[in-house]
Amino acid sequence: MLDDTDRRILRQMQADPGASSAQIAERAGLTSATCWRRIERMQAAGIIRGVRAVINWHALGYEVEVSLRIILDKTQPRAFEDFADAARKIPEVLEIQTLLGQVDVRIALIARDLAHYHEIYRTRILTLPHVTDIDALMHVARVKYNNTVPL
């Protein structure tokens, strides 16, 4: 479905998502019109979902980031749905992933500080439905974070 030219455009867009389509065209060695047509086609096909702003939560005063890894009570037929419906309502939850392995679900949670985290944990997390076990990984440092793939 994608040819080498499409991949070249995507590589340039991944490397610099803030670049204008004229800049992308130049770096990919294409005319603006060709480049724009291909980008539009990939958007229409749903391959390019969009360009999102990255929000730095530290700069907004959220100092703590935790991965909570959760084991659910799978004897409950709606365990995953009920859990996700409730977790989605917690504003500080940034990501919910369902997994196959030692744990069933992971949620990424941010908090202003440890006291704030403790409060969210006690009042919102421990009350989530169908939870059998929770373990927490505290994020110390982000070494790599680019979400790119080798195209």
Phi and psi torsions of 71, nearest 5°: -105, 130
Task: Please report where in the chains the tokens 């990939």 appear, as a residue.
Answer: 42
Query: Which of the ranges 25-33, 70-78, 95-103, 126-134 carries the binding residues for another protein, by CB under 8 A?
Result: 95-103
Query: Which of the ranges 26-34, 71-79, 91-99, 124-132 carries the binding residues for another protein, by CB under 8 A?
Result: 91-99
Neighbours of 131 (CB within 10 A): 19
77 binds another protein (CB under 8 A): no
Residue 66 contacts residue 138 (beta carbons within 8 Å): yes
How many residues sit close enough to another protein to count as binding (CB under 8 A)?
60
5 binds another protein (CB under 8 A): no
Out of 74, 88, 118, 122, name the contact with another protein by CB under 8 A. 88
Q: Rounded to an integer, what distance in angstroms lies between the CA atom of residue 56 and that of residue 93?
A: 15
Out of 84, 86, 121, 134, name the contact with another protein by CB under 8 A. 84
Q: Rounded to an integer, what distance in angstroms lies between the CA atom of residue 71 and that of residue 10?
A: 37
132 binds another protein (CB under 8 A): no
Q: In whole angstroms, how close is the CB of 66 to another protein at the nearest point? A: 9
- Residue 93's nearest CA partner among 75, 120, 71 is 120
